[in-house]
Amino acid sequence: MKFLVFFLILLGSFSTLVHAQDFRGPDKSPMDVAYLPDNFAHDRKAGEEAIAKVYYSRPNKSDRVVFGGIVPFGKVWRVGANEAVEFKAFKDLTIGGKALKAGTYSLFAIPGETEWTIIISSDLDYWGAFKYEESKDVTRFTVESQSLPKTVEAFSIRFEDLGNNTAVMRLGWDQTMVEIPVSY
């Protein structure tokens, strides 16, 4: 009888231990980070400071029609997948020709066939664009969209420093790209 009680306690402890080690599987759209200057975290030079940082999720095209398909034209899009994109300005910037104070924001877009409206919002920490509120916009501006000769399978954001305190933030997916001018 003592053996049976011991065995049941041991079995219960094991099942609790196994259950406690359950982890959620990886997202289908993994998170990534883009810095200005590009690759700041990996190639940081002495005395260099980050200017901007973007946290975003990278959905795959996966044989789908992206813009005008899974991402409808004319509707607010979270720019990527999962959580709304977080844009952090470490110093005051000009983005898309508009002044932006240092701080942390969400980044949204309204894709169109030839131009996109880019939205910087003060609303943070929520999933998708389902709770997007225009009243929380900090700024909006438009940029032209461009066709790419090659398909970008996973949604990507990358900064390119152009020198003289100017840069461009590129958003690309499928065969579409937009360039957002940044100066600092």
Domain holding 39, by residue range, is 25-183
Q: How many domains does the chain have?
A: 1
Cis peptide before 26 (omega within 30 of 0): no
- What is the per-residue pLDDT for 12? 56
- Mean of all residue pLDDT scores within the chain: 89
For residue 75 the two structure tokens come to: 């509707």
pLDDT band at 92 (very low <50, low <70, confident <90, very high): very high
| 165 phi and psi angles, rounded to 5 deg | 60, 35
For residue 34 the two structure tokens come to: 């883009």
Does residue 6 sit within a domain?
A: no
Does residue 12 sit within a domain?
A: no
Does residue 7 sit within a domain?
A: no
**For residue 2, is pLDDT > 90?**
no
Rounded Cα gap, residues 58 and 28, in angstroms:
8
- Torsion sign over Cα 69, 170, 54, 106: negative
Nearest Cα to Cα of residue 110 among 66, 137, 72, 82: 72
**For residue 4, is pLDDT > 80?**
no
For residue 56 the two structure tokens come to: 């975003």
- What is the per-residue pLDDT for 160? 96
Does residue 8 sit within a domain?
A: no
Does residue 139 sit within a domain?
A: yes
Does residue 20 sit within a domain?
A: no
Does residue 140 sit within a domain?
A: yes
pLDDT tens digits, 158-176? 999 999 999 999 999 999 9
Reduced 3-state DSSP string for 80-149:
CCCECEEEEECCCEEECCEEECCEEEEEEEECCCCEEEEEEECCCCCECCCCCCHHHEEEEEEEEEEEEE
pLDDT band at 9 (very low <50, low <70, confident <90, very high): low
**17-26, 46-55, 56-65, 131-140: which has the minimum mean pLDDT?**
17-26
- What is the per-residue pLDDT for 13? 52
- What is this structure's pTM? 0.84
- What is the per-residue pLDDT for 128? 87
**For residue 146, is pLDDT > 80?**
yes
Half-sphere exposure of 178 (CA within 13 A, CB side): 23
Does residue 4 sit within a domain?
A: no
Contact call for residues 182 and 52 (beta carbons, < 8 A): yes
